[in-house]
């Protein structure tokens, strides 16, 4: 078993983690207030991947969700304390070789104007209305908001 490659970014009330796993099967995500466990089987070689992440801050496990596509699995971790920025995803300050910052989606949200938040609000509302395994139609959600197709190809 090996860890899946992931990117993350911070928002006012949520933290997003995108696991870059193509053709994932048997996706399982368990949310706890201070950590989550992600697992799946990916690719044509059926590689078993698992990540256990002790989080920097606490989340609301009941309000956190995930969405699977053919190229990745996106987790929306609802912060227990909205409005508090996370300088890193993990509790531990040590750099993980499987984790990087998603600079395409990163914003200094403390300076956001209402116009900047409008496209994110649509995505946030969509994530609130789906179940943990539902796959919604993303028509109308801007490319700049959800970058699902920019995962690097995993080396096997």
Contact 80, 33 (CB under 8 A): yes
Q: pLDDT 10s digit of each residue in the chain, 156 long?
A: 899 999 999 999 999 999 999 999 999 999 999 999 999 999 888 999 999 999 999 999 999 999 999 899 999 999 999 988 899 999 999 899 999 999 888 776 555 554 445 455 555 555 555 554 554 444 444 444 444 444 544 443
**90: β partners:** 55
Q: Rounded to an integer, what distance in angstroms lies between the CA atom of residue 77 and that of residue 55?
A: 10
Q: What is the pTM of this model?
A: 0.70
Q: Rounded to an integer, what distance in angstroms lies between the CA atom of residue 16 and that of residue 74?
A: 7
Q: Rounded to an integer, what distance in angstroms lies between the CA atom of residue 56 and that of residue 114?
A: 27
Residue-range domains of the chain with CATH:
1-85 (2.60.40.790)
């Amino acid at each position: 078993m090996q860890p899946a490659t992931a990117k993350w970014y911070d928002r006012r009330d949520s933290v997003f983690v995108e696991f870059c796993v193509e053709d994932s099967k048997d996706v399982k995500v368990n949310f706890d207030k201070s950590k989550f466990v992600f697992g799946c089987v990916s690719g044509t070689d059926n590689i078993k991947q698992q990540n256990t992440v002790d989080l920097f801050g606490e989340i609301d496990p009941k309000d956190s969700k995930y969405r699977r596509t053919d190229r990745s699995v996106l987790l929306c971790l609802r912060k227990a304390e909205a409005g508090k920025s996370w300088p890193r995803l993990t509790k531990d300050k040590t750099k993980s070789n499987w984790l990087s910052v998603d600079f395409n989606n990163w914003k200094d949200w403390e300076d956001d104007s209402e116009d900047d938040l409008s496209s994110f609000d649509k995505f946030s509302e969509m994530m609130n209305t789906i179940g943990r395994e539902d796959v919604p139609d993303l028509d109308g959600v801007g490319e700049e908001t959800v970058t699902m197709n920019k995962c690097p190809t995993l080396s096997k």
